């Protein structure tokens, strides 16, 4: 049986979609959609870097350069271009890390199927980034709070550090992604439901904490 890789049904009806997915011997259309993911990721990251340029201008060596208006526009373009390139690279890093993590627990599913699951989840990351863009353009900041999550609580009750990053990552898209992963694992694996649930929750908590520590260390505000 031949099926078509589709991200929207996989996101909106994961339990039903992946029940059909496991029966398909041939999956058509994945690479076209994956290339589209790379293109959209590159565009959104380029726009994010473009919007954040006012914060880049406050860096000491940029201020010391005393750039003219034309030079600043050129720098903004180059930064946006670098952001676009990074936006094409970052999906490979995220998808590879997530796929290898799941593969350690679900070898019965196979690497290709798990990579597809992570690609579906990455679409949610892009949607979340799109929701943040208007706030970036409004305030010109490199990092903004995810409006559909608990990031605002982090700003109100904690200093900029580990806890703010952690709360900011607890949002609609992270939870939605965890639900998609759980239903995909349930349908594609022969392992018990409790095992799938434990790996999904444990993996989500692990990556949220790991990224929160990393982001806080980079900003020099772990505590």
Report pLDDT for 221: 64
Residue 28 CA to residue 200 CA, distance in Å, equals 27
Report pLDDT for 190: 93
Mean pLDDT of 33-53: 94
Distances (CA, A) of 170 to 61, 102, 129, 149: 35, 20, 14, 6
Tokens 């898209």, residue?
A: 173
End-to-end CA distance of the chain: 54
Residue 89 CA to residue 104 CA, distance in Å, equals 23
Count CB atoms within 10 A of the CB of residue 198.
Answer: 13
Q: Domains in the chain: how many in total?
A: 1
Per-residue b/e over 141-180, b at no fewer than 16 CB within 10 Å? Answer: eebbbbebbbbeebeeeeeebbbbbbbbbbbebbebbbeb
Range of the domain at 37: 2-219
Report pLDDT for 65: 64
Specify the range with the lowest mean pLDDT, choosing from 65-69, 161-165, 186-190, 192-196. 65-69
Closest CA to 162 of 123, 85, 219, 106: 219
Tokens 């703010």, residue?
A: 164
Question: What is the average pLDDT value for the chain, to the nearest integer?
Answer: 88
Burial of residue 9 (number of CB atoms within 10 Å: 0-12, 13-18, 19+):
middle
| pTM summary value | 0.89
Q: Give the angle subtended at the CA of 173 by the CAs of 155 and 138, to the nearest 5°.
A: 50
At 222 the three-state DSSP class reads coil
Mean pLDDT of 32-37: 94
pLDDT in tens, 119-166: 999 999 999 999 999 988 888 877 788 888 888 887 787 776 788 888
């Amino acid at each position: 049986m031949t099926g078509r890789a589709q991200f929207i049904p996989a996101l909106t009806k994961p339990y039903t979609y992946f029940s059909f997915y496991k029966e398909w011997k041939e999956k058509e259309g994945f690479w076209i959609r994956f290339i589209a993911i790379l293109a959209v990721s590159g565009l959104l990251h380029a726009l994010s870097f473009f919007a954040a340029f006012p914060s880049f201008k406050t860096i000491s060596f940029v201020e010391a350069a005393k750039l003219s208006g034309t030079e600043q526009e050129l720098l903004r373009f180059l930064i946006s271009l670098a952001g676009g390139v990074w936006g094409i690279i970052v999906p490979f890093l995220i998808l590879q890390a997530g796929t290898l993590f799941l593969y350690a627990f679900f070898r019965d599913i196979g690497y290709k199927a798990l990579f597809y699951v992570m690609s579906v989840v990455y679409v949610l990351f892009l949607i979340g980034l799109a929701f943040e863009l208007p706030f970036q353009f409004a305030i010109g900041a490199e990092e903004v709070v995810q409006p559909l999550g608990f990031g605002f609580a982090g700003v109100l009750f904690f200093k900029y550090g580990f806890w703010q990053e952690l709360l900011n990552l607890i949002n609609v898209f992270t939870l939605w992604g965890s639900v998609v992963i759980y239903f995909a694992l349930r349908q594609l694996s022969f392992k018990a439901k409790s095992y799938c649930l434990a790996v999904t929750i444990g993996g989500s908590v692990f990556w949220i904490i790991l990224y929160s520590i990393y982001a806080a260390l980079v900003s020099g505000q772990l505590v």
